[in-house]
Structures are given as C-alpha cells and as structure tokens.
Amino acid sequence: MPIYPAPIRSRLPNVGTTIFTVMSRMAQECGAINLSQGFPDFNAEDVLFERVAHWMRAGHNQYAQMAGMPALREAIAEKVEALYGAAYDVEREITVTAGATQALFTAVAALVHPGDEVIVFEPVYDSYAPAIELQGGKVVRLRLAAPDYRPDWTAVAAAITPRTRMIMINSPHNPTATVWSAADMAQLEALTRGTGIVIVSDEVYEHIVFDGAGHESCARHPELAARSLIVSSFGKTYHITGWKVGYVIGPAELMAEFRKVHQFNVFTVNTPVQLALADYMQDASRYLRLAAFYQAKRDFFTAAMAGSRFELLPSRGTYFQLARYGAISDMADTDFVEHLTREVGVAAIPVSAFFADGHDDGIIRFCFAKNEETLAAACEKLGRI
C-alpha cells in the first residue's frame, strides 16, 4: 500500500455510493426482482442495433466532432422544432453528450462559480448537489411536499437572492412522477425575468407523460428557452440506458460556455452509435408512441397492485411509481426497502435518499420499466405482505 504524505481531503466528504448502486447490488445478491434502479429489462428494436453495426462496418469508428455528428444534431433540431416550435441552430446550439448526467454536470461546471447559489427541488436526483458543490456553489434546497409534490412559487421567490446563478428543474420528475404544468412554467418565467439566472432543465423523461397531457419543455416557452440549457436522454427514450448518450440544447452564448468544459471532460461521444441514432430518429413514431407504451405498463402495475396494502400515489409521467407502505410497517423507508429486498424478494428505492437530511414520508419508489412477466411476479410477492 502506498504511504501518502498527508490524509486525502475529500471534495465530497458526505457522499457515498449512490442508493441506486446499493439497491441493485442488494437485489443481485438476494436474487430479488429489481424494481429499484431505473432501467428497462427489455431490448430496443433490432433495427437500431443493425444501424450501429452498419456504421461500424462502414468505417465510422474514429472520433466524432466534439459537438456531435451533424446528422444527429440535425435530427435533434428537427424533433425539437416539430414538438415545441423552437428552432435551434445545429452548429452552435446543440451538443451530443455522454448521457444526461454528464450534460447536467458539465452545465453546472461551465456556469457556476464559487459562492454562487443554485436552487434545486427536493426530492432531488442525486447528481445535482455534488456537481454544484464541486464548483464551490451553494445548494439551496426547496422541498416539494408529499403527496402532490407541487412547487411552492412563493417559496421560490423568497429563495432567489442576488447570488442566485441557476435553478435546476426536472419535469417529468424523478422520483415523484409529477409533471409541471404550463402555469408552473409561467411562474418560473416571471420569477427569472430581468435576472441573470440560468435554468438547467432536466427533461430526460420528456416523451413519457401520461393521460393525454403534454410535456412543458423550456423550449416551448421563448423567455425560458433564452436562458435555459435543456437536457434529454436517448437512453430513456429508446431503452438503451447503458449506451450513455444524451444531448443538451440551448442558446449559443450558453452553449459556447458548455462546450468549453465538454471538450475537456468528455470531448466526444461514440461515433457509430450517434449515426445509428440519427437514422433511427427519422421515424418519429418511435418516440411519439413512448407515452402510450409506458402508460400501459403503469396501468398494468397499478391493477396488479390493487389487492395489496400499498397506497399508490399518482404517476403522471416517467416510468416510476411511488407508494406509501404505512398500512404494512412503521419502519424507516431505508429499512423497509432492505426488508422488501431480502425477505420479500423485490427491490425498491427509499425516497428519503433524495433528501439531504433523509426526510422520510414513508414512501418508496418502484420502477415499472419492465416486462409484464417481471411486473406480475413482483406484484404477486408484494401483494402477499
């Protein structure tokens, strides 16, 4: 073992292994059905794999352009304009990234300076705060209260100070499965008008909004679009989370700063995969039908859980379902999900993991991005307790 001259000073002293890794490992060790980490247990269409192989065999195996292959950026621009009526310049305003987490981290690294304040909404996805803290920023946490998890705009207004540099938002929201409305976006627009605040909008579940509702992208709202870096994910859209390909769109001034960091923390993204995705995107139905696809899974899961003692909260988007378990146990949520994994054979995520102080409402998160056979087997186990 090497001997260091002085103890290592951690830049993230309060950060351990993510809850997703912990629960997935526990599920594997126990042979439990994994409804914890948010990934499908089914494949994308073969045609997508065939397009990757095509471009590999065609010799497109070297570095892509730093901002992404032009064909893919053009396909993204066409999609965004068709869905949200917003025109983004392919050369200056769209960047392909190594997944959404890299895009979020890079946005923060490019724009947050020491002492800047960044507003986030708890329960919050676990990568936001570490990215802010690594830049010397101050995380300002606003709580979304169960069971509705709606933003309190009076509280947001009170939290904004002259040091507020950024507001990070996420809709459809992980882990609560809530969806922001046009009225929410109008409130955000009004509160940031005339300020230098930048919005980082995590929209990785943009195509998974249920019950006929539409996704209110920042791109749909011109004032917000002018101050926003908007992040999306091919992994979530096309069932390929392990490929780690996403993108960010935003005005040229912000994107120029984003790319200054992007070129050094990733530089570029897998070339044949980008070209394959550009081909695959030509059929818009592949993302337009995603909401109906996952709504059917939500409804299947809900019906299968109807006889259980879990109380399911509304799931309006994403592929997650929150559930109260108070009728079953008074355990802390972290203890309850361990019990579920080890004794019942189903892994879930404690929602307290999304709060800095471990706030526990007795609510856990299931992922229903699974085959119906998997969901049925899990619900049969959950219904017995």
Query: What would the pLDDT profile of 271-320 be if each residue is shown by its tens digit?
Result: 999 999 999 999 999 999 999 999 999 999 999 999 999 999 999 999 99
pLDDT band at 19 (very low <50, low <70, confident <90, very high): confident
pLDDT at 169: 98
The answer to whether residue 223 scores a pLDDT higher than 70 is yes
pLDDT at 58: 98
pLDDT at 3: 60
pLDDT band at 151 (very low <50, low <70, confident <90, very high): very high
Q: Are 40 and 318 in contact (CB under 8 A)?
A: no
The answer to whether residue 7 scores a pLDDT higher than 80 is no
pLDDT at 213: 97
pLDDT at 343: 97
- Average confidence (pLDDT) over 330-356: 97
pLDDT band at 36 (very low <50, low <70, confident <90, very high): very high
Query: What would the pLDDT profile of 96-149 be if each residue is shown by its tens digit?
Result: 999 999 999 999 999 999 999 999 999 999 999 999 999 999 999 999 999 999
Question: Which DSSP category does 351 fall into?
Answer: G
Q: What percent of the chain has pLDDT over 70?
A: 98
Q: Considering the domain 19-44+288-382 in this protein, what is its CATH number?
A: 3.90.1150.10
Domain locations along the chain? 19-44+288-382, 46-283
Query: What would the pLDDT profile of 195-215 be if each residue is shown by its tens digit?
Result: 999 999 999 999 999 999 999
Query: What would the pLDDT profile of 157-170 be if each residue is shown by its tens digit?
Result: 999 999 999 999 99
Q: Give the CA diameter of the chain.
A: 61
- Residue environment code for 107-145, b if the CB has 16+ CB neighbours within 10 A, otherwise e: bbbbbbeeebbbbbbbbbbbbbbbbbbebebbbbbbbbe
- The C-alpha atoms of residue 267 and residue 98 are separated, in whole angstroms, by 9
In the numeric block, which tokens belong to residue 278? 């550009």
21 vs 242, residue with greater confidence: 242
pLDDT at 15: 84
- Average confidence (pLDDT) over 173-178: 98
For the domain with range 46-283, which CATH number is right: 3.30.460.10, 1.20.1050.10, 3.40.50.300, 3.40.640.10? 3.40.640.10
Q: Are 314 and 177 in contact (CB under 8 A)?
A: yes
